[in-house]
Amino acid sequence: MKENIILVDCDGVLCDWEYSFTQWMHHQGIPTKVTNEYDIAKRFKLEKPEAKKLVRQFNESAAIAFLPPLRDAVYYMKRLNMLHGYRFHCITSLSSDKYAQRLRYQNLDLLFGRELWDEVICLPCGADKDEALEPYRDSGCFWVEDKVANAELEISNKMNPQIFKNKSAFAVCSVLRVFKYNSHP
């Protein structure tokens, strides 16, 4: 395993993107139609192209700099750093817009502190993470992810994905799982 590195997704793992996006949509005058649906097109009863356009627009807006943390992510990431010496590499499918990327860095620094991050990799909105994860193949690194398709890739790359469902009623902080794994050998 690469020494003391944990790979993390951002939205739905570190930050509560879903809540912030929903609030932004309401501000745009687009009400939620199906509250327990993760798929944006279904949640707001939109056509897929329109939903993708709105996601990209949100991801490139100033709102991306103000996402709240997801549950106890700040607490457990700081504990993993302080007690076990872990550092984090964030790989996020945000946007290729350099200003949106800067806002993402700013948000992560504000919530978690700059000292936790060795690297933040911003991919285009909705992009697969295959290429960004390739350097970690066979590393045994933990990968905290909320998208099952990305986690399946990590399993084939001999990494340790920690997956959880991104639905508010079922969410479990995967960073907590990593912390418990390291606290009880």
Indicate whether 118 pLDDT > 60: yes
Bigger pLDDT: 23 vs 174 = 23
Residues 60 and 139 in one domain: no
- Among 47, 65, 83, give the residue marking a domain's end: 65
Range of weakest confidence among 73-77, 105-109, 127-131, 158-162: 158-162
Residues 77 and 145 in one domain: yes
SS3 state at 8: strand
Which residue range forms the structural domain that includes residue 46? 18-65
pLDDT in tens, 140-153: 777 787 765 555 55
Residues 152 and 73 in one domain: yes
Residues 53 and 93 in one domain: no
Question: pTM score, two decimals?
Answer: 0.81
CATH number at residue 76: 3.40.50.1000
Chain-wide mean pLDDT for the chain? 82
What's residue 131's pLDDT? 87
Q: What's the rounded Cα separation, in Å, for the pair 58 and 46?
A: 15
Residues 34 and 96 in one domain: no
Indicate whether 162 pLDDT > 50: no
160-163 sheet: strands from edge to edge = 117-123, 87-93, 5-8, 142-145, 160-163
Q: Are 139 and 96 in contact (CB under 8 A)?
A: no
Domain count of the chain?
Answer: 2
Residues 42 and 118 in one domain: no
Q: Which residue's structure tokens are 């609030």?
A: 23
Residues 59 and 78 in one domain: no
Comparing CA positions, the residue from 102, 65, 79, 95 lying closest to residue 6 is 79
Classify residue 89 by burial, with Cβ atoms within 10 Å: 0-12, 13-18, 19+: buried
Q: What is the band of 89 on the pLDDT scale with cuts at 50, 70, 90?
A: very high
Partners of 160 in beta bridges: 142
